[in-house]
C-alpha cells in the first residue's frame, strides 16, 4: 500500500507540474494586464502586481470601435466555422461508419491524407482561389479555409464515435419505420453527443486561435480576427500592459467553452479510452 501511495503521489505531482507549466503564462498575462508599463519594465519587477490598476483595460475599451470589431470578427468566424464543422462532420462521419459505399475506405484515406499537408503549402492556392472568387478580406474567406483545416480530423472522430454505437439501435429504428435521416437525427445523434462536444471544442480552439490564414487572407482592419490584431499593438515599442489585457480578454472565450462542456468532454475522452 505504501508503494501504491508513493506512485500515486508522484503521479499527482507530475500532473500538477504539467498543469502549472500551462497555467503560469495565463496568470502572467493577467497580472501584467494589471500593472503599469513602468512596473513591468522595472528592475525589481515581481510576478504579482504591487498596486493593481485597470488602465490597460480602459485603454482597450477606449478604442472599442477598433478592438471590439476584431473580437466581433473572431466570434463570427469561429461560431459559423464550428457550426458548419459539427454538422458536416456528423453527417460525413455517420455515412462512413454506418452507410458503407463503394470506395468509402479510399475516400476516408484521402480525407485523412489532407491532414498531413503543411498549412503553409496550401496558402498560395487558397489565396489565388479566394482572389478569383472575391473572398479576400471577408468573413467567409476565413470561415471556409478554417473549416477545411479542422474538418478532416473532425470527420475521423465522428466516424469512430458512430462505429462504436451498436447496430441494433439502427435496426430497431428501421423496424419502427424511421428513414436513414430520421434515424441519424433522432436516434444516433443524441447518443453521440459526447463526440459532438469533442468536435465542437476542438474546432473552436483551432479556429479561434488560428493565425497563419488570418494573416494571409485578411489584410484590412475590418476583416482581421483578434489573433492577427494582437500583433498590431506594437507601435514604436511594445506596451506590455495593454498586450496583457488584450491577451487576457482573448483567452476568456476558450476558457468559457471548456467550462461549459467540461463534463461531456471528459466523458467522451473516457469512453474513447475504454472502447479503444
- pLDDT tens digits, one per residue of 149-192: 999 999 999 998 898 888 888 878 888 788 888 888 888 888 88
Q: Map out the domains of the chain as residue ranges.
A: 1-53, 63-275
Contact by Cβ (8 Å): 185, 101: no
pTM of the full structure: 0.83
Instruction: Quickly tell me which residue has 458512430 as its cell.
Output: 162
Report pLDDT digits (tens) over 49-101: 888 888 888 887 776 557 778 888 999 999 999 999 999 999 999 999 888 78
d(CA 270, CA 276) in angstroms, rounded, equals 10
Query: 63-275, superfamily in CATH?
Result: MetI-like (1.10.3720.10)
Amino acid at each position: 500500500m505504501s508503494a501504491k501511495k508513493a506512485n500515486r503521489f508522484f503521479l499527482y505531482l507530475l500532473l500538477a507540474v504539467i498543469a502549472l507549466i500551462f497555467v503560469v503564462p495565463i496568470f502572467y498575462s493577467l497580472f501584467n494586464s494589471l500593472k503599469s508599463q513602468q512596473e513591468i519594465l522595472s528592475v525589481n519587477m515581481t510576478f504579482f502586481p504591487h498596486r493593481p490598476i485597470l488602465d490597460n483595460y480602459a485603454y482597450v475599451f477606449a478604442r472599442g470601435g477598433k478592438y471590439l470589431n476584431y473580437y466581433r470578427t473572431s466570434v463570427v468566424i469561429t461560431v459559423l466555422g464550428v457550426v458548419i464543422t459539427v454538422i458536416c462532420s456528423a453527417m460525413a462521419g455517420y455515412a462512413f461508419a454506418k452507410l458503407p459505399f463503394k470506395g468509402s475506405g479510399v475516400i476516408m484515406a484521402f480525407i485523412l491524407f489532407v491532414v498531413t499537408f503543411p498549412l503553409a503549402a496550401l496558402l498560395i492556392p487558397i489565396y489565388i482561389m479566394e482572389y478569383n472568387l472575391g473572398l479576400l478580406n471577408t468573413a467567409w474567406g476565413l470561415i471556409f479555409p478554417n473549416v477545411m483545416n479542422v474538418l478532416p480530423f473532425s470527420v475521423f472522430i465522428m466516424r469512430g464515435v458512430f462505429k462504436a454505437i451498436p447496430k441494433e439501435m439502427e435496426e430497431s429504428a428501421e423496424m419502427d419505420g424511421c428513414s436513414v435521416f430520421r434515424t441519424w437525427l433522432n436516434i444516433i445523434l443524441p447518443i453521440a453527443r459526447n463526440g459532438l462536444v469533442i468536435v465542437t471544442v476542438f474546432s473552436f480552439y483551432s479556429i479561434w486561435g488560428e493565425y497563419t490564414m488570418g494573416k494571409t487572407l485578411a489584410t484590412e482592419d475590418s476583416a482581421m480576427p483578434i489573433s492577427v490584431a494582437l500583433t498590431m499593438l506594437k507601435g514604436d515599442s511594445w506596451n506590455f500592459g495593454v498586450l496583457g489585457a488584450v491577451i487576457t480578454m482573448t483567452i476568456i472565450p476558450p476558457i468559457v467553452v471548456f467550462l461549459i462542456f467540461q463534463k461531456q468532454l471528459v466523458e467522451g475522452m473516457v469512453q474513447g479510452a475504454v472502447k479503444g
